[in-house]
Amino acid sequence: METRSGKNIVMIFGATDTGKRIYEEIKDENRVAAFVDEDSSKWGAKIDDIEVKAPAEIPDMQFDYLYIGVLTYYRQVRALLKSMGIPDEKIIGRYVEVPTYARIECLKSIRTLLDEDGVEEGAVAELGVYRGDFAKEINKVFPDRAFYLFDTFEGFTAEDCDMEMEKGYMDKNRTGYFSNTTEQVVMDKMKYPSMCRICKGMFPDSALQIDDVFCFVNLDADLYAPTLAGLEFFYPRLVKGGILLIHDYFSKAFHGVKDAVKEYCDKNEIKYLPIGDTLSVAIRK
């Protein structure tokens, strides 16, 4: 099936930064009919005048190909599409498979590096857990470490979004984005749940009672204020040789992350490097 212009009709699963990147890559050679996202707060919104739809609408739509535009949990998305009867030849995942594997393999290599260097002290943590897909990988790689999972579990807060708007990082208020999650959704994915500590609420208030040190932390808070707060809280608490990943540094959607990293690292003379997943940078203490 092609349009009269000879272009394939396609959809992109993921109204995300990754999905938008894919859109920019393919829009000239294809007609993008819709974005699809599991987050109900995005349904009906538009990206470049293209509507965001619910996954349940996919079987009723006509398309040639469906591009997966989400990282980390792309395998779950592929499984969902196959359960809907979408044939493999219509599902395109090449834009996310390599970055996803790069991030997970980086995590595994970090554990190897910490072990080789004799870093035996420290818990692990993630700020910005969402539905727990990368947290699951952290829990698998660090089964012997206490794992703190920080999230509002209610999406972006109004306070953080107001700051994003004031600083010009958002063109519209996104309060409540990424709210389609719960603590149970996350915990159900953990291989070693007894090692996990859910820390629900506004960060850093949600960390006030924690006096642990850390050997590994993943910051995936998306926004300026919580990213800066995460750096201010976790970096001083990293053990010598500890490693901190910051997701979305190279994001085209969440511009506040880069500014937060530059602000904190310039002030404290800290260097950081990309890890090869197209979005993240790493700091080693």
Could you report the per-residue pLDDT of 181-215, keeping only the tens digit for each?
999 999 999 999 999 999 999 999 999 999 999 99
**Helix count and strand count (H, E) for the chain:** 8, 13
Shared domain for 17 and 114, answered yes or no, is no
Count of the separate structural domains present in the chain: 2
Q: 145: helix, coil or strand?
A: coil
pLDDT at residue 80, rounded to an integer: 93
Rounded to 5°, angle at Cα 144 from 139 and 150: 45
Q: 179: helix, coil or strand?
A: coil
Shared domain for 146 and 261, answered yes or no, is yes
Here the CATH number for the domain that contains residue 52 is: 3.40.50.720
Q: Is the pLDDT at 4 greater than 60, yes or no?
A: no
Report if residue 218 sits inside a domain: yes
Could you report the per-residue pLDDT of 157-180, keeping only the tens digit for each?
999 999 999 999 988 888 998 898
- Strand 214-219 vs strand 281-284: parallel, antiparallel, or unpaired? unpaired
Backbone CA torsion sign across 170, 220, 177, 203: negative
244 burial type by CB count under 10 A (0-12 exposed, 13-18 middle, 19+ buried): buried
Shared domain for 161 and 266, answered yes or no, is yes
Could you report the per-residue pLDDT of 48-61, keeping only the tens digit for each?
999 999 999 999 99
Residue 68's domain comprises 8-92
Specify the higher pLDDT residue, 145 or 6: 145
Shared domain for 88 and 101, answered yes or no, is no
Q: Which of 31, 137, 13 is nearest to 78 (CA)?
A: 13
Rounded to 5°, angle at Cα 277 from 147 and 150: 25
The mean pLDDT value of the chain amounts to: 94
pLDDT at residue 5, rounded to an integer: 57
Query: 198: which strand partners?
Result: 149
Report if residue 1 sits inside a domain: no
Report if residue 3 sits inside a domain: no
pLDDT at residue 274, rounded to an integer: 97
Q: Is the pLDDT at 13 greater than 90, yes or no?
A: yes
148's enclosing H/E stretch is strand 147-151
Out of 39, 63, 92, a domain closes at: 92
Rounded to 5°, angle at Cα 209 from 200 and 143: 70
φ, ψ at 67 (rounded to 5°): -90, 130
Out of 92, 122, 150, a domain closes at: 92
Q: Is the pLDDT at 2 greater than 90, yes or no?
A: no
Q: How confident is the model at residue 97 (pLDDT cuts 50, 70, 90)?
A: confident
- The stretch 217-230 carries a mean pLDDT of 97
Could you report the per-residue pLDDT of 113-169, keeping only the tens digit for each?
999 999 999 999 999 999 999 999 999 999 999 999 999 999 999 999 999 999 999
- The stretch 227-237 carries a mean pLDDT of 98
241's enclosing H/E stretch is strand 238-246
Shared domain for 148 and 274, answered yes or no, is yes
Q: Which of 201, 190, 202, 231 is nearest to 214 (CA)?
A: 231
CB 272 within 8 A of CB 261: yes
Shared domain for 37 and 135, answered yes or no, is no
The strand order across the sheet containing 91-92 reads 46-47, 50-53, 30-36, 8-13, 65-68, 91-92
Here the CATH number for the domain that contains residue 152 is: 3.40.50.150
Residue type, 230: G
pLDDT at residue 99, rounded to an integer: 86
Q: Is the pLDDT at 83 greater than 70, yes or no?
A: yes
